[in-house]
Amino acid sequence: MTTDTPHTLPDGRPIPLATGAELPMLESWLDFHRATLELKCAGLDDEQVRRASAEPSGLTLLGLVQHLAEVERNWFQRVVAGLDVPPVFGEATGYRLDPARTLEDALGVWRREIARGREIVAGRSLDDTGRVMEGPVPGMEVSLRWVFVHMIEEYARHNGHADILRERIDGVTGT
């Protein structure tokens, strides 16, 4: 006897796969964490997502969205695909805020980077490798599997930051 399980949580986030092939499972966990970041920004205005609400840190929700757009570009385009692409927002970390950039602008860029990463991953094996070109370990070879695990870790860590920021902005917790 099988029971149907929902594919999404009540808040709309996809439920990560609990069984099955490794690549779809890793993709589903990354999608879950991507959706969590977006949910953390939902319902906030541009002033709120610019608020550094966990002093003395200058970290903001808008900065996290921008940073994770840079992370998407770095690991999938630069490392996995070997492309020489510039930073999305003009500097490598993505944290610097442009006074004219709205949350919707940043989310649009972030979504495009996710879509481009999905295109790059399509048809690749988890054993395919890319090369880290910058940072503390330039030249290190990494598998696509490693990139997925790192991306899940990166989002999970930053979603923890987003939890604190969101709670300080308007008291919303639990996502």
pTM of the model: 0.93
User: In this predicted model, what pLDDT tens digit does every residue of 45-77 receive, in sequence order?
Assistant: 999 999 998 889 999 999 999 999 999 999 999
pLDDT at 5: 62
pLDDT at 174: 78
> Which among 4, 60, 36, 62 is positioned nearest to 154, based on CA atoms?
36
Query: Which long-range CB contacts under 8 A does 36-40 form with residues at least 24 apart?
Result: 36/155, 36/159, 36/162, 36/175, 37/64, 37/65, 37/68, 37/155, 37/158, 37/159, 37/162, 38/107, 39/11, 39/12, 39/13, 39/175, 40/159, 40/162, 40/163, 40/165, 40/166, 40/175
Amino acid at position 134, single letter: E
Kindly give the parts of the chain with pLDDT less than 70: 1-6, 175
pLDDT at 93: 93
